[in-house]
Amino acid sequence: MTTTLTSHRSRPPAQPPTLRARRLPKWLPPAIALGALLVAAAIVYGAGIGGPVLVVVVGALLYLAGLFAAAHAVEGRRSARNRTWSALIHSAFVLAVLPLASVVWTLFSKGLGRFDANFFLTSMNNIGARDPEGGAYHAIIGTLIQVGIAALITIPIGILCAIYIVEYGRGRFAFAIRFFVDVMTGIPSIVSGLFVLAFWVLVVSPYFSSTGRPGFSGFAAALALSVLMLPTVVRSTEEMLRLVPAPLREGAYALGVPKWKTILRVVLPTALPGIVTGVMLSIARAAGETAPVLLVAGGGAAINFNPFENNQSSLALFVYQQAGDASRYAPARAWTAALTLVALVLVLTIAAKLLARRNRLGR
Amino acid sequence: MAKRIDATNVTAYYGAFKAIENINITVEPKTVTALIGPSGCGKSTFLRSINRMHEVLPAARVEGSLTIDGQDIYDRDVDVTAVRRMIGMVFQRPNPFPTMSIYENVVAGLRLNGVRKKSLLDEAAEKALRSANLWDEVKDRLGKPGAGLSGGQQQRLCIARTIAVEPQVVLMDEPCSALDPISTLAIEDLMFQLKDKFTIIIVTHNMQQAARVSDRTAFFSIEKTGDPGRLIEYDNTQRIFSNPSQKKTEDYITGRFG
């Protein structure tokens, strides 16, 4: 180490005589891009090997090469590398956004066709294969009720569990809880559905139903969704609580504030925005689940406001069923329901974030 | 108001590690006592054991007896929150609650301990902020976040927060180490005023500060890394800095060690 250090010191890097360096003119990179696209188009269409997508891909590669060459000639090696890597990073960003933009575009272009009052105000009851009407009112109701109940179950349990792990848990028991929460994170949704089917629908629900027989219900779906949501809520809340600096807790303790009140009034408010994000992620995941709802709520065409009795549908299940339906009007319903689902989750997320921000002080 | 503190054979552990051993100190009411010594000698540990903040850390424990006006604060029947309300603490880094406004920060201790009445809270907030020499700077923006103040103001805000619950003793753990000289001066001035009402114990690495603000000084030291910290000398500040009885103290104060 010492020898390299001294040898460095004995030969200081040559100082450039001036801070100014030659730069590529501003118009050159766009010009190179245009030229690369034209050349690519000429190659691709000339050889007849592909369409516009290939033109863009080949053009991008040509652009990278051209940019590197031009920058190398004018600005030198370091600049050329810098420009090439910047271009690569920007392309990576575009590649990452492309699928998202494509999904949004597809949803809107195909979903807006049935985005009408009839869709939101009617169910699929008595809608035959030849009827162009029919809507997702029952499915929207189902999603809201099921996800709502699941959230009511999960949020308190999840947050309390995370508080236990972070603030109170010591030793093996806390470790075991953390471990099992981790295991739960990996449960496939179909397994959670099967569990609720075997446990709730077949064994417990007969005691509650008016007929005394086992039956599907929206509540069972909510239970299955809770199993899926719980680990996400616990883990994200746990991470957020751990981020709250220890001096804040000590500051409150030093004022003679009891521990539970410190957690409630100092720690939780500080971590709230992050907790809300985690909860919304879990809600978004639950709202998109199809398999458990199909298994334990059964789906259905009619409106059912009662989560405790009879079949209930949900938006995700509605999409699944309509997408597989033979009617030529069904695909349009499926797309609109998918658009509705995304919009619903988006609106909920924005609302929750605004609510969480209102609690924080304006900076 | 202010109370007297007696420490007898106080020994504190972090798990198996003994951080301080057999500390014996008597702190008189309405005085400023400075704890000085090299890093790792247990000054902060001792300070934190005075208001039972030491035990907040996992596996940390304290032996020996610590009394405030004769009451043992480590007695089994003692409510730890009551101890901390009586013995307030200011930390090294200002730690205002980020979700609270300046006003809410000051009254946090009262409000979280059940005081609801707005007039009482307003009165306490103004009194505490005036005592902390912060009122004039913040009276027009009490609703703004406490984290938006400068470092020195934040520290005075934390002092205001501490004295708003009207403790008898105020512990300060290097309260000026993260502050510039002007803010430090403001806080030292403040200590002179607070001395009329509170017993103050301050940990500091700055010996000039100890000499300026304190009446009595306790010098802590360790033999070598891994050994527990011990109290080497405890005397009037003037005597410690002019004519210490221990060689170690003299070495530390003259800068020959530590």
Both tokens of residue A301? 């065409």
Do the Cβ atoms of B199 and B4 come closer than 8 Å? yes
Find chain B residues with C-beta within 8 A of A275's C-beta: none
The 10s digit of each residue's pLDDT in A162-183 is 999 999 988 899 999 999 999 9
Minimal C-alpha gap between A106 and chain B (Å): 42
For residue A357, give every residue at least 6 positions away whose Cβ sits within 8 Å of its Cβ, in sequence order, or none: A273
Cβ–Cβ of A255/B99 closer than 8 Å? no
Query: A63-90 pLDDT, tens per residue?
Result: 999 999 999 998 889 989 999 999 999 9
Share of chain A above pLDDT 90, in %: 65
CA-wise closest residue to A24 among A62, A67, A60: A67
Is a pLDDT exceeding 60 seen at residue A363? no
Give tens-digit pLDDT for B39-52.
Answer: 888 899 999 999 99
Q: Look-up: residue for tokens 């301990």?
A: B113
- Residues A157, A172: Cα–Cα separation, whole Å: 20
Task: Please give the helix or strand (H or E) that residue A283 lies within, else none.
Answer: helix A268-287
| Inter-chain CB proximity A245 and B56 less than 8 Å | no
Cβ atoms within 10 A of the Cβ of A347, count? 10
Flag whether pLDDT at A47 surpasses 70: yes
Residues of A in contact with B47 (CB under 8 A): none
Which residue do the tokens 């100890």 mark?
B210
A270 and B117 in contact (C-beta within 8 Å)? Answer: no
Q: What is the pLDDT of residue B40?
A: 86
CA dist B46 and B87 (Å) reads: 14
pLDDT at A134: 86
Taking only residues 29 to 58 of chain B, the set having a beta carbon closer than 8 angstroms to any beta carbon of chain A reads 51, 53, 56, 58
More confident residue, A351 or A10: A351
Strands annotated E in B15-168: 17-27, 32-36, 60-68, 71-72, 87-90
- Cβ–Cβ pairs < 8 A, chains A and B: 80
- pLDDT of B2 above 80: no
Q: Does A363 touch chain B (CB under 8 A)?
A: yes
pLDDT band at A7; cut points 50, 70, 90? very low
Long-range contacts of B123-129 (CB under 8 A, 24+ apart): B124/B164, B125/B164, B127/B164, B128/B160, B128/B161, B128/B163, B128/B164, B129/B160
Q: Is the CA virtual torsion A261, A263, A265, A266 positive or negative?
A: positive
Interchain CB contact of B148 with A (< 8 Å): yes
Q: Which residues of A touch B144 (CB under 8 A)?
A: 361
Chain B residue numbers with beta carbons less than 8 Å from the beta carbon of A252 are 97, 108, 112
**Which of B85, B91, B165 is nearest residue A251 as measured by Cβ atoms?**
B91
Q: How far is A165 from chain B (nearest CA, A)?
A: 14
Indicate yes or no: CB of A257 within 8 angstroms of CB of B112: yes
Which residue is it, tokens 């370091």? A78
Chain B residue with CA closest to A252: the answer is: B109
Contacts of A356 in chain B (CB under 8 A): none
Cα B227 from Cα A300, distance rounded (Å)? 74
Query: Is B112 within 8 Å of A254 when comparing Cβ atoms?
Result: no
Q: Which of B56, B81, B88 sits opposite A250 (nearest CB)?
A: B56
Q: For A302-341, what is each residue's pLDDT tens digit?
A: 889 988 888 999 999 999 999 998 889 999 999 999 999 9
Q: Kindly provide the ipTM of the predicted complex, given to two decimals.
A: 0.90
A165 with A178: CB under 8 angstroms? yes
Would the CA dihedral through B25, B31, B37, B40 be positive or negative?
positive
* Structure-token pair, residue A35: 């030229």
Q: Which of residues 220-239 of A touch B (CB under 8 A)?
A: none
Helix A77-111 / helix A330-359 crossing angle, nearest 10 deg: 120
By percentage, how much of chain A surpasses pLDDT 70? 94
Dihedral sign, Cα of residue B107, residue B112, residue B115, residue B116: positive
Mean pLDDT, to the nearest integer, of A345-357?
87
Segment A42-55 mean pLDDT: 89
The answer, for A358 touching chain B at a CB cutoff of 8 Å, is no
Question: What CATH topology corresponds to B5-98+171-253?
Answer: Rossmann fold (3.40.50)
pLDDT the model gives residue A271 = 93
Q: Does B112 touch chain A (CB under 8 A)?
A: yes
CA distance A236 to chain B (A): 20
The tens digit of pLDDT for each residue in A24-43 reads 888 999 999 999 999 999 99
Average pLDDT along chain B: 90
* CA B30 to chain CA mean position, Å: 14
CA B120 to CA B104: how far, in whole Å? 13
Q: Which residue has the tokens 């704890």?
A: B35
Please, what are the domains in chain A?
24-113 (no CATH), 120-359 (1.10.3720.10)
Residue keyed to tokens 């869709």: A119
| Alpha carbon distances (Å) from B246 to A123, A129, B72, B177, B224 | 91, 100, 31, 27, 18
A45 Rama class: left (phi>0) / alpha (psi -120 to 50) / beta: alpha
Query: Is the pLDDT assigned to residue A358 strictly greater than 70?
Result: no
Least confident range from A96-100, A212-216, B171-175, B199-203: namely A212-216
pLDDT at B258: 52
User: Per-residue pLDDT averaged across B9-23, rounded?
Assistant: 92
SS (H, E, C) chain A: CHHHHHHHHHCCCCCCCCCCCCCCCCCHHHHHHHHHHHHHHHHHHHHCCCCHHHHHHHHHHHHHHHHHHHHHHHCCHHHHHHHHHHHHHHHHHHHHHHHHHHHHHHHHHHHHHHCCHHHHHCCCCCCCCCCCCCCCHHHHHHHHHHHHHHHHHHHHHHHHHHHHHHHHCCHHHHHHHHHHHHHHHCCCHHHHHHHHHHHHHHHHHHHHCCCCCCCCCHHHHHHHHHHHHHHHHHHHHHHHHHHCCHHHHHHHHHCCCCHHHHHHHHHHHHHHHHHHHHHHHHHHHHHCCCHHHHHHCECCCCCCCCCCCCCECCHHHHHHHHHCCCCCCHHHHHHHHHHHHHHHHHHHHHHHHHHHHHHCCCC
Contacting residues of B for A262, CB less than 8 Å apart: 112
Closest CB to B145 among A257, A262, A361: A361
Comparing CB atoms, the residue among A170, A249, A256 nearest residue B113 is A256
User: Is the model's pLDDT at A8 over the cut of 80?
Assistant: no
Sequence ranges of the domains in chain B: 5-98+171-253
For B54, the closest chain A residue by CA position comes to A250
- pLDDT at residue A133, as a whole number: 87
First to last CA, chain A: 48
Report the pLDDT value the prediction gives residue A1, as an integer from 0 to 100.
42
Q: Among partner residues A247, A258, A261, which is closest to B91 by beta-carbon distance?
A: A247
Pairwise CB contact (< 8 Å): A257 & B108: yes
Question: Residue B53's closest CA among B231, B203, B186, B192?
Answer: B203
Q: How confident is the model at residue B129 (pLDDT cuts 50, 70, 90)?
A: very high
Distance CA B177, CA B183 (A): 10
Cα separation, B214 vs A79, in Å, equals 60
User: How many Cα atoms are found within 13 Å in the side-chain-facing hemisphere of A256?
Assistant: 26
Query: What is the dihedral sign for C-alpha A197, A202, A203, A204?
Result: positive
> Using one digit for the tens of pLDDT, what is the confidence trace for B234-257?
999 999 998 888 888 888 888 876
Chain B residue numbers with beta carbons less than 8 Å from the beta carbon of A251 are 91, 95-97, 158, 161
Q: Which of A108, A151, A110, A117 is nearest to A137 (CA)?
A: A117
Confidence of residue A210 (pLDDT cuts 50, 70, 90): confident
With an 8 Å Cβ cutoff, is A196 touching chain B?
no
Closest CA to B45 of B15, B76, B86: B15
**Which residues does residue B27 pair with via DSSP β-bridges, in sequence order?**
B5
Contacts of A117 (CB under 8 A, 6+ apart): none
Is B53–A258 a contact, with Cβ atoms under 8 angstroms apart? no
Chain A: closest CA distance from residue B163 (Å)? 9
Give the residue carrying structure tokens 């809608």.
A127
| Cα A340 to Cα A99, A110, A120, A345, distances in angstroms | 19, 12, 9, 9
